[in-house]
Structure 1
Amino acid sequence: MSALPQTRPRAATGPSLAARAKRWLYLLHRWAGITLCLFFTMWFISGVVMMYVGYPKLTPAERLGHLAPLDPAGVTVTPAQALAAAGLEDGAALSLSASRAGQAVYLAGGGRRAAPKAVDAASGALLPVADERVAAATASAWFGGAYPLRYAGAVAEDVYTHSRALDQHRPLHRVDVADPEHTRLYISSATGAVVLDATRAERAWNYVGAWIHWLYPFRGNALDRWWHDIVVWLSVAGVTLALTGTVVGLMRWRFSRPYASGSRSPYRENMMRWHHLSGLLFAVVTITWIFSGLMSMNPWKLFASGAAPLAQAAYEGPPAPAATLAAPAALIAALPAAPRELSWTRAAGQSLVQARMAAGAPLLLSAREARPAALDPAVLRAAAATLLPDARLAEVQTLERYDFYYYARDEHAMLGHVEKPLPAWRLVYDNPEASWVYLDPATGQLISRQDRANRASRWLFAFLHSWDWTGLLARRPLWDALLIFLSLGGAALSLTGVVIGWRRLGKKLRH
C-alpha cells in the first residue's frame, strides 16, 4: 500500500505590512489628537487675540511721552562728574532724563546683564537701589501726580514680566495707578525708573493671548528650566499629528468616485464629517503655523550664526575725554525745546548727543561743542567698513521705505517696540555668512544685524507665522480678515478633533 503524500500545513496569514502601518497611522492620529488638539485650539484662538493685544512692554514712545522735560536749572552735574561718581571710565554708556521719582538722573554704564548706576544730576551722589518710597514717587511723576496709586509690593517675576530684558532690573516694584486704564507700573529696583507698563485690559487679555499662546504657565515656576524644551517638543508632536491627519484625510477621500452615500467623505456623523472636511481645507495652514511656531524657538540652534562679532569700538572711534564734554545746560540751550532725554553716543570718530523729545526722531548735537551736528556720509561709510575687519563692505544700500527684511510692526506686536527709522542704510559685507548691518545715517547708530541664518529665520518664522509680508500688512484690513478666517478654520478643525477624541476616550473608559 503506497503512502499518502504528505502536505505541509498552510501558514496562518496576518495583516500585511501596509495594513499594519495604516492601522498604526490611524491610531497615532486618533489618540495623540485627544490632547494635542486642545493645544491647537488654544493656539489658534490666542493667536487672534495677539493680533490686537500683545505681551506688555514699554515702547520708546510711551516712555518719552511720560517723562518730564529736562530743566537745565536742576542739572548742575557734568557728565565727567557723573561718570566719576559711578566709578566708570570715559566712553561708558550715559544718558540723562527725569526718570527717577520725577527728578533728573544720569544712568551710567550697564549692559545686557548689569543694570546702569543712577547718579543724581543735581547733587552728583550715587543713588542707592530704589525702595517703596522711590517707586511710589516715580509712579506719581509718571502721570504728573494726577491719580491716586497703591504700592503692590516687589516681585522677582510674575505673569507679565517673563522677558529676560528685565533681568537686570529685578526685583521689580509694582504700583497700581487709578487712571482710566487702571495701569500697573513695574519699576526697576536698580534705577528707580519705569521699565514696564500694563493696563488692566492688557493684563486681562493676556491670559487668553500671549501668556497662554507662549505656554507661559510653564514659566516662573519649577518647570521654568524646561519651558523651552516643552514648547519645542509639543510643537514637534503637533507637526507630526497634523501631518498624520493630512495623510489619513487624503486616504479616506474618494477622488475617483463617491461613496454609496454620494459623498466623497466616508463619514456620515456630523462631527466626523466636519473634522474630515475642515482638515482637508485647513491642513496646510495648520501645519505651517505649528511648524513656524517651532521655528520661533530656534530649536537645536538652527539659526545660530558663526559670524564674527561687530568691531563696534573701531567703528565708534576713541571716546572724547569726559572733562571736554559740554554741560547739559549748554546742550539744552542749543535745542528748540527742552528734551525728555539726552544720550551720549559715538559714531565714526565723533562724540555725539542724541536729544529725544516726546515724539519724533532724535536731534543730533556735538557732545563737545553743544551745537547741532551732522554726519558726513563719506566718513560714516569709511567707519562702517571697519565693522567687520575680516570682510569687505561690498555695498551700501539706502532704504527709503520698508522692505521684506527691514520693516516696522504695530506697537503691540512682539517686536513693535524696536524702532526702525527711515531712511536707513543696509551695509552688505562679503563674508561667508553674508552679513547685513542696518544703520541710521542720521545718528550713526547701529539698528540691527542680519546674517544668512537670521534671514532664514525671517522666512521660516515671521513670514510663515505672522504673515509679515509688507505688501499684505499695507493692505489692512485684508491682512486681518485673512488671518482671522484661517485661524477660525484651524480652530474648527481642532475643536472637532477634541470632541471626537474625547467621545472615543469616554467610550473606552465606559467599556
Structure 2
Amino acid sequence: MNKHFVRKAHRWLGLAFSLTILMSAGSGVIHNVMTRTQLPPPPARPTGTLDPSLIKISPADAAARLPDAAQGIAAINVRSIGMQPWYQIYTASSRAAQYVSAVDGRVDPAQDEAYAAQIASAFLAGVPVKKTDFLTSFNTEYINIFRILPVYRYDIDDALHTRVYVSTTTGSVTRHTDDERQFEARIFTNFHKLGFIPNKDLRDLVLTVLTAATCFVALLGVLLFFLTRPKRSSS
C-alpha cells in the first residue's frame, strides 16, 4: 500500500473531521462543569399533610363514581390536595388520573392541576407559581432523559426565570432548571448530540457518519504507524 497516499488521506481527513473530536471533547468539559453546577434530579416525595380521619368514602365507593370504572381500575392513590384527601384513580381505559373526593365523593377533574401547582409551590419554598405549559411529548428543554410524561411546567417570577416540571403521577418535581442551568445544558446538547439539527433522523445520520469517519481516520493513523515504522537491520 502506498504510504504517501495513506499519510495524505490521514492528514486531510483528520483535518476535516477534527471538528467532531473538538465537539466531543468540549461536551466532556461541559458535562464535568454541569455535575458541579447543577443539582441532581429532585427526590420523589409526597407533598401536603394528610388527615386520615377526614376520609369518609371507601376506595370502592370512590371508584364506582367513575363512568369507566367497570372496565377495571389500574391504581388508586390517596393524595392530600388543599388539606383535603382525594382519591387519584387510574382506570384501565384512561391514561389520565381522575379525582374523587374522599370526603364527599364528588368528582373534580380540576384537582389534577391544583395538585400540580401544590407540588411546584412546595418544592419552591411556597413562592407563587404560574402554569406555563402542559407537556404530553418531550421538547428541546424537557428531553427524553427525564422519561416521565405528561408533566406540567410552572414558572416563578425571578431574575433567573426558575421553572419546574411536575408529574402528578409520581407526585413530584421531575426537573428543576433556570436560564443559567439551561444555557449549560444547551451547550452540552449541541456539542454532544448535535441538538441544533431539529430533525432527529437527520441528526442521527450525521452523528453516525461523523463518528464512523472519526473511527476511519484513527484506523488510518494505526495503518500509517506500521507503514512508516523503521525497518530492522538485517544484521
Partner Cα separation in structure 2 for residue 509 and residue 372 of structure 1:
86
What amino acid is aligned across from residue 72 of structure 2 in structure 1? A
Partner Cα separation in structure 2 for residue 325 and residue 271 of structure 1:
81
Q: Choose from 440, 448, 463 the match for 2:175.
A: 448
| Contact 1:352 1:364 survives alignment (8 Å) | no
1:491 equivalenced with 2:194 (yes/no): no
Partner Cα separation in structure 2 for residue 468 and residue 436 of structure 1:
21
Q: Which residue of 1 aligns with 2:166?
A: 439
1:398 equivalenced with 2:133 (yes/no): yes
Q: Choose from 182, 191, 194 the match for 1:467.
A: 194
Partner Cα separation in structure 2 for residue 271 and residue 360 of structure 1:
62
Which residues of 2 match residues 172-183 of structure 1 at below 5 A?
none
Partner Cα separation in structure 2 for residue 382 and residue 342 of structure 1:
19
1:329 equivalenced with 2:57 (yes/no): no
| Contact 2:116 2:167 survives alignment (8 Å) | no
Q: Write out per-residue CA displacement over residues 306-326 of structure 1, whole angstroms, 9 at most, x where no aligned residue.
A: 9xx89x77xx33213177274
Q: Which residue of 1 aligns with 2:19?
A: 284
Q: Write out per-residue CA displacement over residues 180-221 of structure 1, whole angstroms, 9 at most, x where no aligned residue.
A: xxxxxxxxxxxxxxxxxxxxxxxxxxxxxxxxxxxxxxxxxx
Which residues of 2 match residues 347-496 of structure 1 at below 5 A?
347-356=81-90, 361-366=95-100, 368-369=102-103, 372-375=107-110, 381=117, 384-389=120-125, 393=129, 395-399=130-134, 402-407=138-143, 409=144, 415=145, 418-421=147-150, 424-430=152-158, 434-440=161-167, 446-452=173-179, 454-468=181-195, 471-473=198-200, 477-496=201-220
| Contact 1:341 1:356 survives alignment (8 Å) | yes
Q: Which residue of 1 aligns with 2:72?
A: 338
Partner Cα separation in structure 1 for residue 114 and residue 86 of structure 2:
17
Higher relative contact order (CA 8 A, sep 6+): 2
State the TM-score, normalizing by the size of structure 1. Answer: 0.36
Partner Cα separation in structure 2 for residue 345 and residue 280 of structure 1:
59
Q: Choose from 298, 307, 319 the match for 2:50.
A: 319
Partner Cα separation in structure 2 for residue 443 and residue 374 of structure 1:
17
Describe the SS at the equivalent of 2:17: helix
Q: Choose from 37, 43, 46 the match for 1:303.
A: 37
| Contact 1:435 1:451 survives alignment (8 Å) | yes
Partner Cα separation in structure 1 for residue 6 and residue 124 of structure 2:
59
Percentage of identical aligned residues: 17
What amino acid is aligned across from residue 319 of structure 1 in structure 2? L
Q: Write out per-residue CA displacement over residues 82-127 of structure 1, whole angstroms, 9 at most, x where no aligned residue.
A: xxxxxxxxxxxxxxxxxxxxxxxxxxxxxxxxxxxxxxxxxxxxxx
What amino acid is aligned across from residue 388 of structure 1 in structure 2? L
| Contact 1:325 1:367 survives alignment (8 Å) | no
Offset at 1:406?
2.1
Describe the SS at the equivalent of 2:133: strand
Length, aligned pairs only: 224
Q: Write out per-residue CA displacement over residues 287-345 of structure 1, whole angstroms, 9 at most, x where no aligned residue.
A: 2123324544x358432359xx89x77xx332131772744433443441213333333
Q: Write out per-residue CA displacement over residues 159-180 of structure 1, whole angstroms, 9 at most, x where no aligned residue.
A: xxxxxxxxxxxxxxxxxxxxxx
What amino acid is aligned across from residue 450 of structure 1 in structure 2? T
| Contact 2:65 2:107 survives alignment (8 Å) | yes
Using a 3 Å threshold, how does the CA distance of structure 1 residues 276 and 300 change in structure 2: closer, same or farther? same
Offset at 1:268?
6.4
What amino acid is aligned across from residue 486 of structure 1 in structure 2? L
Which residues of 2 match residues 37-116 of structure 1 at below 5 A?
none
Describe the SS at the equivalent of 1:365: strand
What amino acid is aligned across from residue 189 of structure 2 in structure 1? A
Q: Write out per-residue CA displacement over residues 381-417 of structure 1, whole angstroms, 9 at most, x where no aligned residue.
A: 5774454238564x5422567542124x3xxxxx27x
Describe the SS at the equivalent of 1:355: strand
RMSD, aligned α-carbons: 4.1
Offset at 1:279?
1.4
Using a 3 Å threshold, how does the CA distance of structure 1 residues 465 and 509 change in structure 2: closer, same or farther? farther
| Contact 1:435 1:450 survives alignment (8 Å) | yes
Runs of 4+ in 1 over 6 A off after TM superposition: 441-444
Q: Choose from 196, 219, 224 the match for 1:500.
A: 224
Q: Which residue of 2 aligns with 1:231?
A: none
Partner Cα separation in structure 2 for residue 277 and residue 445 of structure 1:
52
What amino acid is aligned across from residue 492 of structure 1 in structure 2? F
Describe the SS at the equivalent of 1:289: helix
Offset at 1:472?
2.1
